Amino acid sequence: MHTRQSQSGFAFYNVCMKHKELKALIFDVDGTLTDNERDGHRVAFNRAFKDTGLDWYWDIETYDRLLKVFGGKERIRYYIEDFLTDFTPSTDLDHFIGQLHQLKTEHYLDLLKSGTLPLRPGVERLLTEAHASGFKLAIASTTTLENALLLVRLSLGEPALDWFDVIACGDVVVNKKPAPDIYLYALEKLGLAAAECLVFEDTQAGLESAKAAGITTIVTVNDATRHQDFSGAALVLDQLGEPGNEFELLAGNARGETMVNIDLLKQIHSDVSVDLA
């Protein structure tokens, strides 16, 4: 009896020592906060190509293939190197890509301003609840910083920018997703351990990036990513869910919930922590 008590006491001590409280939620942007790849970024790339006098056009099928490369500049380079046989830019390639991408960013910001790229269902609700509950919030995205800032400003209002302790974007790290760099950077800036955070992603590469940084991840798929492999995600859903517009559970244990809320996130976090202990 004494031995069993000691063992369970030791196990409890072990869990307490290793269990970390959930303190922050880290969000990917493109495809996660807003479903904007096909109707936002793709359109902006095509407008930039036209402005530049290029006869390139990325239809949805082509764009979905290009999405395997993260980052707009990297995506253009991949297209030139892997899809075109004999393209030679009029200037140095890096300069050419940089200018083309700058033009694309201007078109993308215009699209955001036109109001055609709303937040996905449940995003505003969850961010508001998390902020009101005292959680730290962060963004960890491959996209250009201005894109993420304008999305938050236009969809949640200027004060909501202060909800985010860290907005980590684009070229602040050298290696983009699926490398863990952007999530490791966000953790460092938050001053938190991976075990104190949860990540929200929409792609396999984003999940791999977060997993490689050691952070438990919830995936909300979209049409471009639904077929991808999300092994290792804590939960895979079609969206975060709203009252009257519940999520569809694709993988994992949603504990009977129909919307992602702070209670569900705490349960997921606590179960993962105990599993690790």
Of residues 26, 28, 121, 260, which one binds ligand XBP by CB under 6 A?
Answer: 28
Of residues 46, 147, 216, 225, which one binds ligand XBP by CB under 6 A?
Answer: 147
| Other Cβ atoms closer than 10 A to 258 | 16
> How do strand 164-169 and strand 136-141 relate by DSSP bridges?
parallel
Q: Considering the rule CB under 6 A, would residue 166 count as an interface residue with ligand XBP?
A: no
Nearer to ligand XBP, 105 or 204 (CB): 105
Beta bridge partners of 196: none
Nearer to ligand XBP, 220 or 273 (CB): 220
List, in order, residues 6 or more apart from 114 with CB less than 8 Å away. none
As annotated, the active-site residues are 28, 30
Tell me the C-alpha distance between 226 and 236, whole Å.
10
Q: Considering the rule CB under 6 A, would residue 71 count as an interface residue with ligand XBP?
A: yes
Considering only the stretches 64-72, 151-159, 231-239, 265-273, report the one whose residues sit in contact with ligand XBP under the rule CB under 6 A. 64-72
Tell me the C-alpha distance between 108 and 11, whole Å.
53
Q: Considering the rule CB under 6 A, would residue 46 count as an interface residue with ligand XBP?
A: no
Of residues 38, 72, 184, 187, which one binds ligand XBP by CB under 6 A?
Answer: 72
Q: Considering the rule CB under 6 A, would residue 31 count as an interface residue with ligand XBP?
A: yes
Which amino acid is located at 166 in the chain? V
Residue whose structure tokens are 């999530």: 183
Q: Considering the rule CB under 6 A, would residue 30 count as an interface residue with ligand XBP?
A: yes
Residue 4 to residues 15, 16, 202, 237, 274: CA-CA distances in angstroms?
16, 18, 45, 41, 19
Nearer to ligand XBP, 207 or 254 (CB): 207
To ligand XBP, the closest distance from the beta carbon of 271 in angstroms equals 26
Nearer to ligand XBP, 28 or 238 (CB): 28
User: Do the Cβ atoms of 28 and 183 come closer than 8 Å?
Assistant: no
To ligand XBP, the closest distance from the beta carbon of 162 in angstroms equals 21
Nearer to ligand XBP, 21 or 110 (CB): 110
178-217 residues in contact with ligand XBP (CB under 6 A) are: 206
3-state secondary structure 57-81: CCCHHHHHHHCCCCCHHHHHHHHHH
220-249 residues in contact with ligand XBP (CB under 6 A) are: none
> How do strand 249-252 and strand 235-237 relate by DSSP bridges?
antiparallel
Chain positions contacting ligand XBP, by CB under 6 A: 28-31, 37, 41, 70-72, 104-105, 141-144, 147, 177, 206
